[in-house]
Amino acid sequence: MSKTVTTEPTRRDFLYIATASVGAVGAAAVAWPIISSMNPDASVLAMSSTEVDLTPIAEGQIITVKWQGKPVFISHRTKKEIQEAENVKLSELPDPQPDSARVKKGKEEWLVVIGICTHLGCVPLGHEGEYGGWFCPCHGSVYDTSGRIRKGPAPLNLALPPYEFTSDKAIKIG
Ligand code: FES
């Protein structure tokens, strides 16, 4: 009787691979505090600002970057999302602010907000909720495509970090 030899990875191999990559991530995560404690000046500098290349962010996509230990959402808004944000009556907003005050003039397709719910600090989920912006699953706050609070217990819009465009497709946060 012939024996079939299989080269398929076994379940055990998969578990091993998964464990190995978790290990690698863990090692990277602990490396940062050690490096930063060796060179406090450089670490303070690195923490104070974050440069982001916007080129890979497709229209309609939201990415999260870290700035000073906080999540920052960068949303490459579609025309529809921009229009929805601009067409809202300020009287309908719990924290009234026009969309134009939340984006840079001429760069309305880019919304940059701190990704921390203004209720109790959870990280809201992008492209969720009835206003197409963010939804915070902790207690049900709903934000629109300008990151403004529309429903739920959060009292304020998602905060705006200080940032500037360093070129047509790059920003520096902080
Ligand atoms: S922390 Fe977001 S709704 Fe409570």
- pLDDT tens-place string over residues 56-89: 999 999 999 999 999 999 999 999 999 999 999 9
Residues 38, 83: one domain?
no
3 vs 156, more confident:
156
Q: Is 139 a catalytic residue?
A: yes
pLDDT at 19 > cutoff 70: no
Residues 145, 71: one domain?
yes
Q: Which domain holds residue 75?
A: 49-173
Residue 3 in domain: no
Residues 24, 108: one domain?
no
CA distances in angstroms from 9 to 16, 19, 22, listed in the order given: 10, 15, 19
Ligand 1 mutation target, pool 114, 118, 135, 136, most atoms within 8 A of CB: 136
Residues 15, 65: one domain?
no
Residue 2 in domain: no
Percentage of the chain with pLDDT > 90? Answer: 72
Ligand 1 mutation target, pool 114, 117, 125, most atoms within 8 A of CB: 117
**CB pairs under 8 A, 24+ apart, for 57-63?**
59/109, 62/126, 62/127
Catalytic residue among 76, 119, 127, 139: 139
Binding pocket residue ranges, ligand 1, CB within 6 Å: 117, 119-122, 136, 138-141, 152-154
Residue 37 in domain: yes
Alpha carbon 97 to chain centroid, angstroms: 21
Residues 59, 140: one domain?
yes
Residues 116, 163: one domain?
yes
Residues 53, 42: one domain?
no
Residues 25, 99: one domain?
no
Residues 120, 169: one domain?
yes
Residue 150 in domain: yes
Q: What's the CA-to-centroid distance between 127 and ligand 1, angstroms? A: 16
Indicate which atom in ligand 1 lies nearest the CA of residue 139. Answer: 3
Residues 80, 30: one domain?
no
Domains: count for the chain: 2
Residue 6 in domain: no
For the stretch 110-130, pLDDT in tens is 999 999 999 999 999 999 999
Q: How confident is the model at residue 48 (pLDDT cuts 50, 70, 90)?
A: confident
Residue 4 in domain: no
Is 124:145 a contact under the CB 8 Å cutoff? Answer: no
Indicate which atom in ligand 1 lies nearest the CA of residue 152. Answer: 3
Model pTM above 0.85? no
Residues 34, 62: one domain?
no
Q: What's the CA-to-centroid distance between 83 and ligand 1, angstroms? A: 26
